[in-house]
Amino acid sequence: MNLKIYIDGTFYEQSEAKISVFDHGVLYGDGVFEGIRFYQDRVFRLEEHIDRLWDSAKAIALDIPMSRTALIEATLETIRQNDLHDGYIRLLVTRGIGSLGLSPDSCRRPSVIIIAATIALYPDSLYEKGLTMATCSVRRIPPAALSPRIKSLNYLNNILAKIEAQQAGAAEGVMLNEQGYVGECTGDNLFVVKKGVISTPPINAGILGGITRAVVFELAKQNDIPIKEEDLTRYDILVADECFLTGTAAEVIAAVQLDRRPIGDGRPGPITLKLVEEFRGLTRSTGTPIYQ
């Protein structure tokens, strides 16, 4: 499939979609992005993703060169141009073209890039059986260095942890913060269930404020399932009755093993399965319409 890619107001065929080698997003990872899902002709939680993009941009002193309304319309039009009905959007804002120097002052105008395609982060079998995890020695970047709440183009910290997890034979890696508490996985937020109560690390543990993470809080409250934020350690995962991960690309997926040791009975638990069902129902019944 030859996709049409949005770059700064123009749609290009996939083979012709190019950016400059002097773009500071390429040279330094200087920029921000969002991953957004759409289901059955509706974009899920689009406004929340756009809000987070603006917050990330503001945190790195990057001015997005279009209004929220214009960016939302450009996102929807990118999906329409590709005649897609279910899929994934990668929305990027880079610092733009500049010199080889580190300073962003040489970048005259940020660039906006929108890609709409299909995605399958994990095979269907892992959603049925649950995925395995390994504890990574790579620690999550501390907020004093680079806040994990900024969804920046520099994901090397996460990539190094992902490599470590894969080399350990696991599908995902658990990243600890500098205090030794659980932060998040390489691309997902982490939750545990113990005696019917859901727990997840707090935002100040050094994690991204996930959109799907927030949806789980909503669903738990709607279903009268107790949920709380608290510091977690590797111990809390190992002794949990259930564990699951959340992310835009991953959605909601059970984790059934950590460091080759089963979590609970080693199968997706009832609360996890309930949330998976509820989440899927929500994604297919709500969202911003694409085709009107």
Task: Find out whether 190 and 247 touch, Cβ atoms under 8 Å.
Answer: no
Residues whose CB is less than 8 angstroms from the CB of residue 144 and which lie 6 or more positions away in sequence, other chains included: none
d(CA 130, CA 127): 5
Residue of 151, 162, 195, 274 with catalytic role: 151
Question: Which of the 8 DSSP states describes residue 34?
Answer: E
Beta strands in 40-145 (DSSP E): 42-43, 87-94, 111-117, 131-135
Beta strands in the chain (DSSP E): 4-7, 10-13, 31-39, 42-43, 87-94, 111-117, 131-135, 172-176, 182-185, 189-194, 197-200, 227-229, 242-247, 251-258, 261-262, 288-289
Q: Is 58 a catalytic residue?
A: no
Phi, psi of 183 (to 5 degrees): -95, -80
Q: Active-site residues: which are they?
A: 151
